[in-house]
Amino acid sequence: MEAKRSLLAIFLLLSFLSISTAAPTRKTRTRKPCKSMVFYFHDIIYNGHNAKNATSAIVGSPQWGNKTILTGQNHFGDLVVFDDPITLDNNLHSKPVGRAQGFYIYDKKDIFTAWLGFSFVFNSTQHKGSINFAGADPLMNKTRDISVIGGTGDFFMARGVATLMTDAFEGE
C-alpha cells in the first residue's frame, strides 16, 4: 500500500477584466493575457499509514469504496480534499510560495477523469490573494485546461484558463 504521489505543473493564463472599461476607438481586438505564470504542486494522498506526510485524504466514496484506498473503476466516486504546497520548480522540497487547497472528485468509470474545485492561496511579498479554479480534468490527457473562475487580492477579477500537466507520478 504505497502512497500515491503526484506532481502537477500548472500554467496560468490570467486575464483581468475591469469594469466599465473605457476602450479605445480603434477596432483592433487583442487577446493577450495580462499575466502568465508557472507553478508546481505536490499531492500525497492519505493511505492509512502516512498521516504525517499526506497532503490529501479521501473524504467521500461510493458504497463499494473506502477512505484509505482509491476504489476500482478508475476511482469513480472518490472525493479527495487536498492542501498541497506550491513551488516554483518541480522539487517537493523547495520552499513553498503558496498552497493549492480544495477538492477533486473522480467522476468516470472507464477512464481517469476528475472534477476540480480549488484555490491557489498566496501570502508572500510577490503575491497576495487567491485564484479560484473549477472544471473537468481529464487526467489521461497530457495537458488539460480548467477555468479560472475568479480571484481575490492581487488577482481580483481574474479570469482565463489554467493548463495542468502531470509532471511525475509515483505509486499505484
Q: Which of residues 41-80 bind its own copies (CB under 8 A)?
A: 46, 48, 57-63, 65-68, 76-79
DSSP states along 21-69: ----SS-------SEEEEEEEEEEB--SS-TTT-SEEEEE--TT--SSS
For the chain, the residue count is 172
Task: Name the β-bridge partners of 30.
Answer: none
Find the binder of its own copies among 31, 93, 95, 142 (CB under 8 A).
31
Site string for its own copies, 76-115 (x = CB under 8 A): xxxx-xxx---------------x-xxx-xxxxx---x-x
Q: Enumerate residues 118-137 that contact its own copies by CB under 8 A.
A: 118-119, 121, 129-130, 132, 134-136
Relative to beta strand 114-123, strand 128-137 is: antiparallel
Which residue number, 31 or 142, has a Cβ lying nearer to its own copies?
31
Which residue number, 40 or 46, has a Cβ lying nearer to its own copies?
46
